[in-house]
Chains A and B, each alone.
Chain A
Amino acid sequence: MSTRGRKRILSLFGLVLLAGALLAAPAPAAPKRVMPLPNAPMRVMSLNVCTDQLAMALAAPGQLVSVSFLAREPSLSMLHEEAKEYLANRGLAEEVFLQKPDLVVTGTYSLHNTSALLKRLGFAVEEFSFVQTLDTIPGEIRRMGSLLGRQDRAEEIATRFAAELADIKRRQCDRRPSAIAYDQNGVALGRGTLADSVLEAAGFRNLAADLGVVGMTPFPLEQIVVQRPDVIITGKPAGAPTLGAQVPRHPAIAALPGTRIGAFVPEGSWSCGAPSVIEAVRALARLRAEIAPCPAPDHNSSERDAGEKPLRAFPHPALGAPR
C-alpha cells in the first residue's frame, strides 16, 4: 500500500473515532470518564513513586492512566493496592510515547534524562522535588491538585493534613526520647529528610540529625551501640530477601537493653511526601506518648521542663518514666 493510501485510511479512521466521540458526548458519562475541570489534562502519567501517591490520591476516575511499577511495592507505597488498577510503567520515555499522555508528572531527581527527553519531544512534564518535609506536603498536594484540575479535592486533603499535623504537634512537650530511622544497609535519615521532620513532629529527637548527619547517609553500627537510641525504626523485611535488610537486625542492636526496635510506622507510609505521611506521624506520636508520657496539660509549663537534655542523658524506658 502506498504511503498516501495509508495516510488516507488513517485519517478516515480518525474521523470515525471523532464521530464516535461526538456521538458519545451527550450520553451520560461512563463511570470511568468523569471530567475534572475544563482545560484539565485527561490522560496523566506518573513516573515516580512519590508523584504516584499524590496523583492517585487526587486524580478523577479515568484521569490517571499509568503509575510507576514501584507504586505496587508495599514497602514504598501506601497505596499499593490502588496502584494495581493502573498500568505500571518503568519510567521509560518509550512507554510515555506509547501512552501519549497530555501531562507527565515525575520527580526532579530520579529520571532526569527521561524528563529532558520528554520535554524535547513536546510532552508537558511537571517535576516534583525529591527533597520533602512535612511542611512542604500541603503545598505539594495543592500543586498536584491544580495541575490535575482538582483544586477542591486538593484543598480539602491539604487542609485536613495541616490541621491534623498541627493537632499532633500541639500535644508534644519537652520530653523527647531519641530515635533513629535505620534501614537497608545501615543507612540513617538525617537532617532535611522527611523522616527527620516526622520524628520532630511526633516528639522525638532524631539521633542522626543531632549527630550532624544530613540526608540519607550510612550510619556506623558502632555509633548506634554507643548512643543507644530509645527507639530504632527499621523497615519490615519486604518480599524477596536482601543482605542489606539484615543490617538493622544485627545482634549488636538486639543486645541493646532498653532500646525498642521495630517498624512502628505503617508500611510505606513515610517513604514519600504524600498525604499518607500523617499515618506515620500519628503512629510515632502514639509511641512517644507511650514511652515518655507528657505531663498533664495544666502542668505543662515550659520553664520547668525545658532543661536541655544532652545526648545519652535520657533514661531508658526500661528504667521507668523519666523525671
Chain B
Amino acid sequence: MRPALLNTGLAVLALGLFVLSLLVGPADLRFDESILGLFAAAQYHGEGAGIIMREIRLPRALLGLGIGISLGLSGAVLQGFLRNPLAEPGIIGVSATAALGAVAVFYSGLAGSSLYALPAGALIGALTAVLILLAIAARQGSTLTLILAGVALSSLAGALTSLVLNLSPNPFAAYEIIFWLLGSLKDRSMEHVALALPLMALGWLLIALSARAIDALSLGEEAAASLGIHMGRARFLIVAGVALSVGAATAVAGTIGFIGLVVPHLIRPLTDRLPSSLLLPAALGGAALLLAADSAARLVLPAGELNVGVLTALIGAPFFLWLVMRVRREML
C-alpha cells in the first residue's frame, strides 16, 4: 500500500476514534451538546456540558491519543532496533519499571502530593529498564533471551510496585495496585495532559530522528557503521525517546500493555517493511487502538468502568502467544 494512503487512512481512523472517545461517557450528552460544550465561547463556561467536555472528556481523549502514539511508536522502534519481533515496552518491562519508578517517588511523599513526582519517577524507571535491556541485548543477541529478561524485569517491577503500595502508611494506597498494573484513563484532567504530553512529544521527536539509523541497522551493525551511522548517537536517541514517551505515558495512565506489540505487526504487511516506514503508521495505529479500547472500557461497565489495560491484554495476550509460536517455527 502506498505510504501516503496508509498514513492518511490511519490518521482518519485515529481522528474518528478521538471524536468517538469525546462522545462516550456516563453523562448522556447529545452530539450537538457535546460539540457546543467543547467549542462554545467563554460565557458558556460553567455549564455542565462545557465542564464535562473540556475538563473530563477532552483530557481523556488527548491522553488516549498521546499515549497510543507513544506505545505504538515505541513498539515499532524497539522491534526495528533490537531486530526482535516480540519487543514491546510492556513485554520487555519498560512500562512496569516506569510504573515502579512513579509509585516509588509519588507514594513515598518525597515531593508532597505533587503530581510532578509521577513523571520524574517514571522517567527514571523507564530509563533504567531500557539500559538494562540494552546491556542484555548487547551481550546475548538471542530473541528469547531478551524477552525472558523482560518478563523477569516486568514481574520484579510489578511485585515491587505492589510492595511499595502495601507499605504506604495510607491505607487507601493498596487499592491503587490495580491502576498501576492494569492502567486506566479514568478521571484524568488537563493537569495530566500538561504533565505528560510535552515529554511524550519530545520522545516522539527523538525516535523520529533515529529513523535512518534503524533502517541501516536492519542490515546489521557493521553494515550500518559502514553506511556512516553513528551507533552511539542512534542508541541514545532510541533509549531516550522510548524512556521519555513510555515513561510519561505510564506516569499518568499506569501500565497499558500490548499496544506496541499488536499494532506494528498488524501494519507491517501494509508497508515496504523498512523499519522507518513503519514508525508513523504504527504511531497512528497505536492511537487508534488505545482510543478504541478506552471507549470500549467505558461502554462495557458504564458506572464502575473497566481498566483499559484489561482490554488491551485481552486483545494482545492471545496475539503474543500466536506470535511466539510463529517465531519459534521460523527459528526451527
A residues whose Cβ falls under 8 Å from a Cβ of B: 70, 73, 76, 184-186, 217-223, 225-226, 228, 237-247, 250-252, 255-257
A240-B109, A242-B170, A245-B113 known; A250-B55 Cβ under 8 A: yes
Interface centre among B27, B109, B191, B304 (most CB of A within 10 A): B27
**Contact B175–A252 (Cβ < 8 Å):** no
Please, what's the 1-or-0 string for B206-218, where 1 marks a CB less than 8 Å from any CB in chain A?
0000000000000
Option from B46, B108, B171 in Cβ contact (under 8 Å) with A76: B171
Is B330 an interface residue when CB atoms closer than 8 A count as contact?
A: no
Complex alpha-carbon distance, A112 and B279, angstroms: 54
Closest to B304 in A: A218
**Contact B109–A228 (Cβ < 8 Å):** no
Option from B51, B112, B170, B302 in Cβ contact (under 8 Å) with A252: B51
Closest to B46 in A: A257
A226-B48, A241-B112 known; A184-B172 Cβ under 8 A: yes
Closest Cβ of chain B to A204, distance in Å, is 21
Complex alpha-carbon distance, A241 and B112, angstroms: 7
Closest Cβ of chain B to A192, distance in Å, is 17
Complex alpha-carbon distance, A257 and B50, angstroms: 12
Q: A237-B113, A241-B112, A241-B170 are in contact. List 20 more A-B contacts (CB 8 A).
A: A73-B171, A184-B172, A218-B304, A220-B27, A221-B56, A222-B26, A222-B27, A222-B57, A225-B51, A239-B169, A239-B170, A240-B107, A240-B168, A242-B176, A244-B172, A250-B56, A250-B189, A252-B51, A252-B189, A257-B46
Within 8 A of A (CB), among B121-142: none
Option from A240, A241, A247 in Cβ contact (under 8 Å) with B187: A247
**Contact A223–B173 (Cβ < 8 Å):** no
Within 8 A of A (CB), among B51-74: 51-52, 55-57
**Contact A255–B176 (Cβ < 8 Å):** no
Within 8 A of A (CB), among B144-175: 168-173, 175
Closest Cβ of chain A to B178, distance in Å, is 10
**Contact A242–B27 (Cβ < 8 Å):** no
**Contact A220–B113 (Cβ < 8 Å):** no
6 A-B pairs (CB sep. < 8 Å): A221-B187, A225-B48, A241-B106, A242-B170, A242-B176, A252-B56
Interface size class on chain B is 35 or more
Complex alpha-carbon distance, A226 and B56, angstroms: 12
Is B303 an interface residue when CB atoms closer than 8 A count as contact?
A: yes
Which residues of B lie under 8 Å from residue A245 when comparing CB positions? 113, 172
A226-B27, A240-B109 known; A256-B51 Cβ under 8 A: yes
Complex alpha-carbon distance, A243 and B109, angstroms: 12
The 4 closest A-B pairs by CB, nearest first: A241-B113, A220-B26, A252-B55, A222-B27
Option from B26, B46, B115, B179 in Cβ contact (under 8 Å) with A255: B46
**Contact B51–A241 (Cβ < 8 Å):** no
Closest to A222 in B: B27
Closest to A248 in B: B187
Which residues of B lie under 8 Å from residue A257 when comparing CB positions? 46
Complex alpha-carbon distance, A222 and B55, angstroms: 10
Which residues of B lie under 8 Å from residue A228 when comparing CB positions? 48
A220-B26, A242-B176 known; A225-B191 Cβ under 8 A: no
**Contact A225–B107 (Cβ < 8 Å):** no
**Contact B303–A241 (Cβ < 8 Å):** no
Within 8 A of A (CB), among B281-305: 302-305
Closest to B57 in A: A222
Is B25 an interface residue when CB atoms closer than 8 A count as contact?
A: yes
**Contact A217–B168 (Cβ < 8 Å):** no
**Contact B303–A240 (Cβ < 8 Å):** no
Closest Cβ of chain A to B78, distance in Å, is 28
Closest Cβ of chain A to B42, distance in Å, is 12
Closest Cβ of chain B to A259, distance in Å, is 11
**Contact B52–A238 (Cβ < 8 Å):** no
Closest Cβ of chain B to A299, distance in Å, is 34
Please, what's the 1-or-0 string for B247-261, where 1 marks a CB less than 8 Å from any CB in chain A?
000000000000000
Which residues of A lie under 8 Å from residue B179 when comparing CB positions? 243
Closest to B190 in A: A251
Which residues of B lie under 8 Å from residue A246 when comparing CB positions? 113, 115
**Contact B168–A242 (Cβ < 8 Å):** yes
Closest Cβ of chain B to A300, distance in Å, is 34
Complex alpha-carbon distance, A240 and B113, angstroms: 8
**Contact B26–A241 (Cβ < 8 Å):** no
